[in-house]
Structure 1
Amino acid sequence: MKKAGFIYLLFFVFPFFAAAQFTIKGKVLDATTCEPLSEASVFCQNTTLGTTTNNDGMFSLQLPGGGYDLIFSYTGYFTKTVRATKNETLEILLVKQEKSMEEVILTNSFEVKDGWEKYGQFFTDLFIGSTPNAQQCHLVNPEVLKFYFYKRSQRLKIRATEPVLIANYALGYRLSYQLDSFVHYYKTNNSVYSGYCLFTEIDDCDSLKKIWKANRAMAYEGSKLQFMRSYYDSSVYEDGWVIDMLDKKGGKKFYRVTNPYDSLYYAGLDSTGQIAFWYPRKLSIAYTNKKPEPEYLEKMNLPEDVEYPISYIDVTDEISVMANGYYYPQQNWLSQGYWSWKNVGDQLPFDYWPDE
């Protein structure tokens, strides 16, 4: 996930999704010994869908229709990712992590001993965010974060020794985020982070659940998740989106994309249940069904009379999209503007669907 200035790189089941359900099952083994790994974590990235392996390393997950990055992780082993779109039986081999003494010494020499005290708030604002929803998030275990500063390149790197646990009291989720790395480049004011997130519903009283339901619906309105689903459903303009594209590379004027389903930019539904789109130049994507939040206007120093939230997108290569809004490769989508303001604290899982 990205962000420049910051560039950064669902199971209310509708009836038509029931028929599209599929099952992923298999076993997780040590790559060297082929011994089963029990209690290995198996989950779909950015969803509430997950399980663990049994004593024989076996697992089974029934998934609603769509596409997912299926994550396999086990303490002391490298994480493995498999794309899941249909019924499959998998044999997953995980490789043990081994660091040389030279790597350990080199890494430790750049570690900031009081990293959380020095950079904790800075990291929180960029990773979780500064939105009203983000301000209601609590980072539960900051002690798992390690901070490294590279003076010559003016680069701050943050890694986690265990999953980063976040309680989102605005949306009613607990997040377990396997943060591979977070890097901030001071020279360009850009940040890049990568990792894998599993959502879990917070189990609380009904009154809070009603608040969370309303907050989730508001977070969904104008989100990237909603946009991807609109594109998949061939309802971009009907749903209130407006797409403009730069007139030329390096240009400054945008012109309206009158038909986002023109074959110049779009490939329709294929046999795997996915669509694809691509654009040669930067996009401006506006959502016309709501006004931008006052906090966003203040953060970006924008005037109060801005009508719509607008995001600026570079599609660096073809993007494939599934029915649930899952898209890949995610590194091909670089956001600026409104969507870059919405970070982990405003994320919804791919298995979230608003009530119609």
Structure 2
Amino acid sequence: MFRFPLLVDIRFYKSAALWLILLLLATSTFAQETGVILAGKVTDGKTGKPLPFANVFVNNSSIGTNADENGNYRLPGLSIGSIEIAVSFLGYETVRQTLRFEQPGLKTVMFKLVEGMELKGVTVYAKKNKKRERNLKIITRELLGNSRFTKQCNIVNPEALRISEDDNGHLSAQTTKPLIIENHALGYRIHQDLDDFDFYQGKVYYGGSTRFELLVPKDSLQKKLWRANQKIAYQGSLKHLLASMVADSLIEQGFKVYQVIPDSLRLFKSVRTTNGVNLLSNHLHNRIEAVRGARLIVPGELITERLVVSRTQLEVFNTKKRTGSPYDDMPFAYSQISFPQGYMVITPQGWVSMPMGMEIAGDLGNDRFSTLLPADWKRDD
């Protein structure tokens, strides 16, 4: 029998063992970074110099990372589909860009930021100015909302707000740097860039980028309390409603949804006159009809997408919350949802990935930062 020299055998086994270890490490790394890996660099748009430690995050979520000292970033574990990525750096305008991933793997995106412009036409009041303090109370009330958790929320840096009042009665505000809101009821620190805030005649509009950061609980009891409060905030929320539509469990989850019937399909009651001629009255019959979630949900192009489709307005009742509504026989929390484009794109978990101009009025439109959960928040099941 032919035998290899002992030295050759040892070298062969060492080489094979090293190769096997490297293979296992590579396989383990790949397994940990499944899905989409977003990577690239954040630089100054004029000079091209890197912006070290810039924030790169999925808007309205707790998913994010920081660039390194050379401006390079890596954000693994993203799902295929459409997401809005936001990039922020102190002294620069926040950039938001919608990206669509149709296949997993490494995607490279470079971000160029420009220095922030001075806010024009904005009156900056002294910190103790009474007028500013009065307006700040209004803005704080509208941002935090009126819920059971409001008193456990606070704005850490109100000096970041630049407030103005127009002659026509509009109260406006913008931020010079992210507004930091700490929600000690739900366990989040929220970084909010306000591109615009407008309050007029009791109605508020605001927009910008939102980054959620998890607070560190002092003990296991506080962690459990935060989780319990998050579940309370989820109940009856837009995310809860949309997830119930996908699961076709609206009634079971406490929602009744009605769809406005198009004018062309509405039935009119007929009235017989004394001369025997049938006439159509102006009284509309069946203005709205009850719909199931399955009727509103259509599969998207990708397995991570669902379309909520409705050419007409939806009227939503939360039967677990008794408040006034336009209908005497339905004294529940009432909302209206409209889709200017006829649809919007969501995930099966109820995360709105492409709102397509969706408009919400009523109870669901009253969500504020005291009850707001990040888009990537998950139920126990």
Using the size of structure 1 for normalisation, the TM-score is: 0.79
Q: Evaluate the alpha carbon distance shift between residue 32 and residue 64 of structure 1 in structure 2; reply closer, same or farther with a 3 A threshold.
A: closer
- Cα distance in 1, alignment partners of residues 308 and 34 from structure 2: 23
What residue number does 1:26 align with?
Answer: 40
Counterpart amino acid of residue 366 in structure 2: W
Which ranges of structure 1 fall in alignment gaps of 5 or more residues? 1-17
Aligned residue number for residue 230 of structure 1: 244
User: 1:90 matched to which residue of 2?
Assistant: 109
> Which secondary structure does the structure 2 equivalent of 1:107 belong to?
coil
1:109 Cα offset (Å): 8.3
User: Given that residues 110 and 150 in structure 1 are in contact (C-alpha distance below 8 angstroms), is that contact kept between their aligned partners in structure 2?
Assistant: no
The counterpart of 2:49, out of the listed 9, 22, 35, is: 35
Instruction: Measure how far apart 1:307 and its partner are.
Output: 5.9
Displacement after TM superposition at 1:216 (Å):
0.7
Once the two structures are TM-superposed, the CA of residue 284 in structure 1 deviates from its matched residue by 1.0
1:131–1:341 CA contact under 8 A, matched in 2: no
Does 1:181 pair with 2:196?
yes
Q: Which structure is higher in RCO with an 8 Å CA cutoff and minimum separation 6?
A: 1
Aligned length: 323
Partner of residue 4, structure 1: none
Shift of 1:240: 4.2
User: Are 1:118 and 2:134 an aligned pair?
Assistant: yes
Q: Which residue is equivalent to 2:352?
A: 327
Which of 214, 222, 229 pairs up with 1:215?
A: 229
- The equivalent residue for 1:314 is 338
Residue 122 of structure 2 aligns to a residue whose secondary structure is: helix
1:350 aligned partner:
375
Task: Describe how 1:4-15 pairs up with structure 2 within 5 A.
Answer: none
Secondary structure of 2:90 counterpart: coil
Gap change, CA 1:270 and 1:111, over 3 Å in 2: farther
Q: Is the 8 A contact 2:339 2:359 kept in 1?
A: yes
For the 8 Å contact 2:195–2:207, the answer to whether it is kept is yes
Residue 61 of structure 1, aligned match among 64, 72, 75 = 75
Indicate if the aligned counterparts of 1:115 and 1:146 stay in contact, CA closer than 8 A.
no
| Partner residue in 2 for 1:282 | 313
- Tell me, in whole angstroms, the C-alpha distance in 2 between the residues paired with 1:305 and 1:201: 42
Letter in 1 for 2:209: Y
- Give the structure 2 partner of residue 80 of structure 1: 95
Following superposition of structure 1 onto structure 2, how do residues 115-194 of structure 1 map, counting pairs within 5 Å?
Answer: 115-151=131-167, 153-186=168-201, 189-194=202-207
Q: Aligned partners of 1:20 and 1:226: how far apart in 2?
A: 27
Task: Identify the residue that residue 256 of structure 1 maps to in structure 2.
Answer: 289
Aligned to 2:363: 338
Q: 1:115 to 1:158 in 2, by over 3 A?
A: farther
Cα offset for 1:256?
2.4
Distance 1:310 1:21, change over 3 A: farther
- CA 1:26/1:234 → structure 2, altered by over 3 Å: closer, same or farther? farther
CA deviation after TM superposition for structure 1 residue 74, in Å: 1.6
Tell whether 2:211 aligns with 1:198.
yes
Higher alpha-carbon deviation: 51-60 or 274-283 = 274-283
* Distance change in 2, residues 1:179/1:115 (3 Å): farther
CA shift at 1:233, angstroms? 4.3
Q: Measured at CA, do residues 331 and 170 of structure 1 come closer, stay the same or move farther in structure 2, by a change above 3 Å?
A: farther
CA distance in structure 2 between the aligned counterparts of 1:79 and 1:157, rounded to whole angstroms: 19
Aligned-residue offset at 1:191: 1.6
RMSD over aligned Cα atoms:
3.2
Q: Alpha-carbon deviation of 1:132?
A: 0.9
**Is the CA contact 1:111–1:148 (under 8 Å) kept in the aligned structure 2?**
no
1:24/1:260 CA distance change after superposition, 3 Å: same
* Counterpart-to-counterpart distance in 2, 1:42 and 1:81: 10
Identity of aligned residues (%): 23
Gaps of 5+ in 2: 1-31, 264-283
2:321 alignment counterpart: 292
> In structure 2, how many angstroms separate the alpha carbons of the residues matched to 1:184 and 1:24?
37
Q: 1:219 to 1:156 in 2, by over 3 A?
A: same
1:107 to 100, 122, 145: 122
Measured in 2, the distance between the counterparts of 1:136 and 1:303 equals 34
CA shift, 1:322, in A, is 2.2
Could you tell me how far apart the structure 1 residues matched to 2:223 and 2:36 are? 29
